[in-house]
Amino acid sequence: MKTILVVDDDNMNLATTKEVLSEKYKVVLVKKGQQALSYLENGDCDVILLDINMPEMDGFEVIKRIRQMENHVDTPVIFLTGDNDSETETRCFSEGAIDFIGKPFVPAVMLSRIARILELEELRRSLADRLEQKIREVSDIKSKTNRDALTGLWNREYTEEAVNDMLKGGMGGAVMMIDMDNFKLINDNYGHIAGDKTLKMFADTMRTYSAEGDVLCRIGGDEFVMFVSGTPSKAELSKRAGDIITDIVKKIEDCKFETDTSVSIGIAKFPEDGTEFAKLYNSADKALYYVKQNGKNSYHFFSDKIAAENNRGEKTVDLKYLKDLMNRADSGNGAYLMDFESFHHVYNFIRRFVERSDRDVQIVLFTMTENGNSKPDASETETAMELLEQSIYTSLRRSDISTRYSSRQMIVILMDANSDNGDMVAERVINDFNKVNNCDKVRIDYGIARLESKKIKAKQ
């Protein structure tokens, strides 16, 4: 049953209205405008019969307040008035009423007008619902055409439009170009079903490391884009890129693919590397190319490449100076120690060299572990790692390379060494460490493998 709210300060009018309407409708009666507003805050109705001339708050003020209520913006209002002049009629409609009924009202006329208005309201709601449904259908179709069918990520066209809108709206961000290295080998060796599963896994991993407001895109093949919205710092972007690489590589390893598949990422920041998507994309693509040319399985900022080039560009050199600079040797006598990022590039260069020349190169991983139940504190751990670095430096040759991977692990590349030589060198490092180490809470273990091998033979 439809509900009619009647607002009138005259008791006789209320009683008469209820008598006329109650056979067909549920009737709610109130005498003041404020009472009507209080009812509408929690209650509902299908039509409001509203008297114009009321004390405290007239009908025009009441309808203005009703139209400010979210749930009653479109509720039909019929004014009740004894004024039949054209000025009152015009104002009734301008204030948002759908009709008005003159006083004293004729019951048959009132019933007829209410029935007609309810019929029109049903038609309006039906049309509104159909329109909303059509809008949803069009939106769904547009969404599907803007999404990659396999991964569900946005396509290039939508991403460019969305990112440009965000940048024009004052939001900053950074573009990450993300590419899987050697992905083609997964398709070739394990089939396209395995390849598709890998791409879906890649997309899901990107979702894991995205935040609200970021835009995720599959450009095509194994190329993806992540737009990190806001004002992310270089440290934050580095952390996210590193986490993505580590996570995806771990998942690929879990799949037991013998493809040496890894992940490379190029990063471009707004506004220094571009103020629109196309420029940011091109800058990130150049940074990605740098990673591809320097061993893959890492990330690089376009701004770092430009800064280094600009810094060198401040001074021109001749060929003799350049040769002297590149041939200049370090002053140390032991193993060459470098930071992990640089070590990573050198490692991949040596791997390429080994694959072409079939030279014996060993990679050794030294790990510091707790010795017994005693746990070293941070100071003891750092001291032990410094002693391990010193032992590696003095025990190895100038042609060998080492880096600190973490606060508990060191990596060493032994050039022109077979597994027996590698074991001998590793044992010499540990013996040297034990001679200088006074902390009995730690010990050093190691694993060794030929560079091409994927399995490390654990030793203690």
Residue positions annotated with a catalytic role: 222
- Nearest C-alpha neighbor of 77 from the set 141, 33, 128: 33
Structure tokens at 383: 């001291």
CB 194 within 8 A of CB 286: no
Contacts of 22 (CB under 8 A, 6+ apart): none
Residues 158 and 175: their CA atoms lie apart, in Å, by 15
Residues 266 and 321: their CA atoms lie apart, in Å, by 32
| ∠ CA 322-347-247, rounded to 5° | 130
CB 210 within 8 A of CB 240: no
Enclosing H/E stretch for 181: strand 173-181
- Nearest C-alpha neighbor of 283 from the set 298, 311, 305: 305
| ∠ CA 102-106-111, rounded to 5° | 100
CB 446 within 8 A of CB 367: yes
Question: In which residue are the tokens 């009653």 written?
Answer: 72
Structure tokens at 16: 């008469």
The residue type found at 157 is E
